[in-house]
Homo-oligomer: A and B are copies of this chain.
């Protein structure tokens, strides 16, 4: 065997010099390198944008869907939809661990894992497509995949149903970062606190800010706020449109006696909420943008335009231990788990 690059560049076929994700084609030969992991794949969770496109192209025909999927993997060595550019994730069991990694990681042969890196960079071989579950974007296959040394994954626990675990893992970076950023006594605002990532952030924020802190949930409707109120995730509940900075500033000012937030976590799924986040936060505060709808220039120029010295962090979806932190919430809070099962699993 031989040692590969930890980021998988040794498997890039074309164009050379790029990383596996942007590469057009990667090598899906299943003889692993010394620092790779071989997975026996059970289910592909295709990214929703990608699967919608494939379904359309196939006119909803299952055999046609299978053909398209096989063709993508045949051409690219990975399930990287050439139209949408997106991937998805997979579930499978560990079949083999390269000798360089054996003993250095918390995995053993037979463990059931979900990969948390995109299918758009994961070497994949499909031997047979067994079942296409069109309504939930899941496809069961016989096949193998490879995880690079830098690849992230989560062991699927026995005590949490698989679909609930997947829902939580999808947004695990947000509560884990919240847990790392919030200190006792902080005033924490979660914009989009009523959503899938937002509620987990509220939970962690309340735990870390403690009794001397204040956690504010900002949602778009009384209906969604009521759901969160019942579980008691926040100290204050605010209805506002996050795309209206002056409105958000006034509402947050009211519930903080004009002090504003020390830390703002942005978990919305709509664009144009940078300015609201900035105005709701103290001058020397910190904003964590988890929302993928965030615009770099709107945030940078927005803060400068109002002379705010706010630290603004790009929401990296990964942080060490994020899967454990997020899954643990489902064990700690019965109420939140029930709500999550109802809404997302």
Contacts and interface: CB of A to CB of B under 8 A. Distances in A.
B315 A314 contact: no
A17 interface: yes
B305 A21 contact: yes
Nearest to A176: B309
A306 B21 CA distance: 9
Interface string A250-269: 00000000000000000000
A77 B22 CA distance: 46
Contacts of A316: 299-300, 303-304, 308-312
A295 B296 contact: yes
A28 to B, nearest CB: 17
Copies in the complex: 2
A21 B303 CA distance: 12
A109 interface: no
A117 to B, nearest CB: 6
Contacts of A246: 9, 17-19
A311 B315 CA distance: 9
Contacts of A312: 313-314, 316
Interface string A86-107: 0000000000000000000000
A14 interface: no
Interface in A285-330: 289, 292, 294-297, 299-320
24 contacts: A7-B279, A7-B306, A17-B244, A19-B305, A21-B302, A117-B307, A118-B301, A150-B306, A150-B308, A151-B307, A152-B304, A173-B304, A292-B300, A296-B314, A300-B314, A300-B316, A304-B317, A304-B318, A308-B318, A309-B316, A310-B316, A311-B313, A311-B316, A313-B313
Given A19-B306, A117-B307, A150-B306, 18 more contacts: A17-B246, A18-B245, A19-B245, A19-B246, A19-B275, A19-B305, A117-B305, A292-B296, A292-B297, A296-B299, A296-B314, A299-B314, A300-B317, A303-B317, A303-B318, A309-B318, A309-B319, A314-B314
